[in-house]
């Protein structure tokens, strides 16, 4: 199988593994729809299938690119806009994977460019760092460009409102940082839990992520109090020395609390999908 197809399939599988992972507090999963009245598991399947055909394109743009990192960013973003239109069509205008599509576009483009330069068969931790560093180059100054003259714009998105009110950059900030939350939090956690079976590994990694990330979706729904609540609750679970069954019990309890507060860590869910994807590419000894 061509590398572009192989890697795009792994990215698609990561989206499916993320949404099926259960329980995820406040999020759509196999058990319930979390804090979302307009989304179901099927909505996410339809969305993932709609953007999947574009994944190979993101990779190939990177693999065939001859120019600057910023020029590659513009290429993958333009293709990503087409993917977003298909996603919205498939979901009847429900935003399921807008942030994830953006990040997969950037990271797949970076991976394609990495393979163009190295032709490596297997990736190791230092390669993942190099790929994420290149995404940082691709996204240099992104927020300041995108949020320029917002005061004059009508019909602001949630992300734009948060930036004006709190200076929170959301997915753009993650991209500008070279996905610091992945590099410094989630991927090290997934490596630490590598001997666990897959579901438990991802659940524990997700708890570690929620305990640390400034999730813009939580800010939108619950402000700073919401962020503090999620981090505090996740840290309580993180500190417990419990079995998988007990971990699931604690996550179910937190799920009930998050639904009652109408909180949903959607930004963390996108990062989880990216972490699942990148960890599937990495050879860990």
Binned at pLDDT 50, 70 and 90, residue 145 comes out as: confident
Query: What pLDDT digit, counting tens, does each position of 39-69 carry?
Result: 999 999 999 999 999 999 999 999 999 999 9
Question: pLDDT exceeding 70 applies to what percent of the chain?
Answer: 91
- What token pair was written down for 251? 């996550």
pLDDT given for residue 171 in this prediction: 81
pLDDT at 152 over 80: no
Query: What pLDDT digit, counting tens, does each position of 86-95 carry?
Result: 999 999 999 9
Note the pTM of the prediction, 2 decimals.
0.93
């Amino acid at each position: 199988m061509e590398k572009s197809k192989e890697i795009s399939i792994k990215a698609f599988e990561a989206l499916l593994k993320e949404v099926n992972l259960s329980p995820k507090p406040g999020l759509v999963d196999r058990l319930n729809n979390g804090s979302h009245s307009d989304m179901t598991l099927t909505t996410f399947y339809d969305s993932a299938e709609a953007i999947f055909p574009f994944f190979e394109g993101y990779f190939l743009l990177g693999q065939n690119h001859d120019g600057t990192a910023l020029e590659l960013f513009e290429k993958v973003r333009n293709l990503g806009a087409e993917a977003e239109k298909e996603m919205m069509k498939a979901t009847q205008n429900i935003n399921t994977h807008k942030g994830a599509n953006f990040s997969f576009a950037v990271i797949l483009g970076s991976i394609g460019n990495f393979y163009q330069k190295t032709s490596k068969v297997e990736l190791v931790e230092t390669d993942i760092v190099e790929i994420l560093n290149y995404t940082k180059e691709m996204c240099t100054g992104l927020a300041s460009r995108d949020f320029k003259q917002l005061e004059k714009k009508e019909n602001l998105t949630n992300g734009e409102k948060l930036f004006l009110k709190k200076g929170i950059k959301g997915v753009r900030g993650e991209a500008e940082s070279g996905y610091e939350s992945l590099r410094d939090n989630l991927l090290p956690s997934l490596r630490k839990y590598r001997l666990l079976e897959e579901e438990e590994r991802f659940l524990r990694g997700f708890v570690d992520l929620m305990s640390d990330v400034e999730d813009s979706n939580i800010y939108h729904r619950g402000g700073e109090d919401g962020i503090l609540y999620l981090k505090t609750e996740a840290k309580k679970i993180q500190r417990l020395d419990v079995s998988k069954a007990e971990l699931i019990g604690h996550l179910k309890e937190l799920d009930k609390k998050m639904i009652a507060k109408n909180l949903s860590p959607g930004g963390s869910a996108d990062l989880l999908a990216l972490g699942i994807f990148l960890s599937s590419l990495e050879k860990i000894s």
